[in-house]
Structure 1
């Protein structure tokens, strides 16, 4: 299942880069992008356990500081290449068929550029520069569904991105606003995901326990490296 989670996440990175006009390339052992990727997105992702540093570094732009690599199996040491460990996380998996927790609010897909702009501002904490990451082109991607939960007065309670790939649905960019409990956001996101497909993603730190409480299990470690 970890292979499915890794591939799903790489395909979401590809979707985000495509929305910004410069998609990357899938190789046998790594996904890479020869142009600097959007904010928070890796320049390279290992796709297999036997991927080497050369597999992922050869295809990315290292001419300026800030290149990043998602070491999907936590097997690389990139310190000799001038990278430092940015963070560690756990891949997570929720089996198909589990009932979704009861959701609070009205959870539904974001359909219009105006709805997406409001979602992105809520996701970013009203930071317009960060909100610009989510471009309207994402709404045309058949594998991507951006979902939001709305209170009765129209306020956004939280949201997430659902990414469909072969056999699984990925969850990323999950957020809760104000005093919304993260567990409620997981419940809402899962309520909008297909019940007959496993759900995958990754989380770390304080964001991991709510996912585990929603029925996920940890299936393996990952690391993200940042170049100097």
Structure 2
């Protein structure tokens, strides 16, 4: 079950809270596709291949070993992926290559939210609007059904500017996913059709501050996306690495 982010402050460090929240989110997406996952020791993993863009395993501690991960995922075909949450594994001997590296980020609950503006963000509502959100996020105007309506019942909040009319039919121009768990709010999949990531972060943070006041915000980013998050008050708290197996 998902930890209520409005509960007492987490005893976890900012890095551990970000990792734990992301593992909960990965688990929620997989469950929405009928793919079960479970935590054993220092690893969350699924023995079945997970949905596109989501890992087969997530390490929860820097103490996790390659064998802890590889023994619990499907290596019979190409495509297995591992989120090495602490950048501490070497999976190259098992046929994996580094897909990308990034940084976990944390924004303290004491940091003030950006001042209110007319471009107010809020949750999208309903399955049809979720499809429109995914189509805008994909960048090609199409939705492949990655984000299923069951996520809306599992605590996920898909944010978008309310000027796009969450219950209507106007185009979605920006968005992000907010997921409460481990006493933090995890932000992922932030996008802006016009490329203005700073404005998107400001809108997103105003919404999270309104919906979950006093709760820290976490996530992970790299490159220009990381730079934009830092400009909006996030602090990098640790490295991560995603591995992809291209050979059976």
1:155 maps to 2:168: no
Q: Which runs of 4+ in 1 moved over 3 A?
A: 150-155
Higher deviation after alignment, 67-76 or 93-102: 93-102
1:119 aligned partner? 133
1:85 maps to 2:103: no
SS at match of 1:156: coil
Higher strand share: 1
1:70 maps to 2:83: yes
Q: Name which of 189, 203, 214 aligns with 1:188.
A: 203
2:148 and 2:104 map into 1 onto residues whose CA distance is 26
2:24 aligned partner? 11
1:35 maps to 2:64: no
Instruction: In structure 2, list runs of 5 or more residues that go unmatched.
Output: 1-13
Shift of 1:23: 2.2
2:20 and 2:56 map into 1 onto residues whose CA distance is 15
Residues 6-37 of structure 1 deviation map (CA, whole Å, 9 limit, x = unaligned): 01000000000011111211112000011111
1:168 maps to 2:179: no
Q: Name which of 207, 229, 235 aligns with 1:217.
A: 235
Shift of 1:180: 4.9
1:127 and 1:191 map into 2 onto residues whose CA distance is 26
Shift of 1:69: 0.4
Counterpart contact for 2:120–2:207, Cα < 8 Å: no
Shift of 1:127: 4.8
2:15 aligned partner? 2
Shift of 1:152: 6.4
Shift of 1:60: 0.7
SS at match of 1:151: helix
Aligned residues: 225
SS at match of 1:218: strand
Counterpart contact for 1:44–1:68, Cα < 8 Å: yes
Shift of 1:155: 3.2
Residues 35-65 of structure 1 deviation map (CA, whole Å, 9 limit, x = unaligned): 1111100000100010001111111111110
Shift of 1:150: 3.9
Counterpart contact for 1:158–1:176, Cα < 8 Å: yes
Instruction: In structure 1, list runs of 5 or more residues that go unmatched.
Output: none
Counterpart contact for 1:150–1:156, Cα < 8 Å: no
2:118 and 2:108 map into 1 onto residues whose CA distance is 22
2:71 aligned partner? 58
TM normalised by structure 2 equals: 0.87
